[in-house]
Structure 1
Amino acid sequence: MATTTRPIDARGWLFEVQDISASTETWLRIGMLTSFSHNPGENEETEETTSFDDEGHFSQDVMQRGATIELESKYAVDKTGVQDAGQAYVDNVWAYRLGVDSHNPVRWRHRSQTKWVVWDATCTPGEQGGGTNEKTSWSATVTRCGKPTTAPVTPPAGGGS
């Protein structure tokens, strides 16, 4: 019998940022996501290598690889006004760091996957806004720095993602 493949739901993707100020490894889920866009070709640089020997056909080498993830969400707070932990870390901690301190680990995967993709990354906070009959938006762009790695999915203490 042939295996049937099916598309996966976009809502099954999980994105987490590591709280590097915590005394133990702590990952904070970025909540209330409404969409994301992964661009694996962002910041790619190429060098044209076409020569007379190519007889009129283009040739190039990739000299640099890059990637970004754009996250869109609703600005989320609990009943006491405390912002979603992942959003708050991005907004209040990560977004203000400069230079080498601007780097922070992030990880992401689909619920159906057994490994996280882990990036050393920088973050650009996005616009927030909304209209009369809308919820407030939240967004951020995460830019990969260096080569991505992977990590196995292990159940966190107390359950969760």
Structure 2
Amino acid sequence: MASVLPQKNEEYGTKQYWDQRYSQEPPDASFDWFKSYEDVADILRELIPDRDARIVMLGCGNSKLSEEMYDDGYRHVVNTDYSGVLINNMRRLHEHTRPEMEWHEMDIRSLTFDADTFDVAIDKGTMDAMMTANGDVWDPPSNIIENCNREVDEVIR
């Protein structure tokens, strides 16, 4: 995995980095940045008791969270990521085993879904990747604040 790590943290915030990374990794590779579904399943089941809830994964990456939620009965999971390489890999990987799951190449700062499409939005680490600019993490540059605000604005519309 070391060969796909960026030379600078700022690269985590670029589409080019992610397309290159997902081009180098096997299509069935997975990586969970923080907690696994098993670690948070009880909390999610409590917060999302309706297994028919429409869920959008913002910047899904190749985390197993979506597939494990699907396997736990959440059938209406819509995954977005701005890496077309990743979305194509994930679509092919899951098309026969999890046919109801959707995969969309999309920038979370400019979602193309209609308003009120989803009941739940999950961002497991995308905003963290967006906040990798040089400088003080507690006082990020204005463009980083604007990007994060755009994500939030898109989700709550």
**Looking at both structures, which has the greater relative contact order when contacts are Cα pairs under 8 Å and sequence separation is at least 6?**
2
Q: Is the TM value for this pair above 0.5?
A: no
TM-score of the superposed pair, with normalisation by structure 1: 0.24
* Larger relative strand fraction: 1
* Larger relative helix fraction: 2
**Larger CA Rg, structure 1 vs 2:** 1
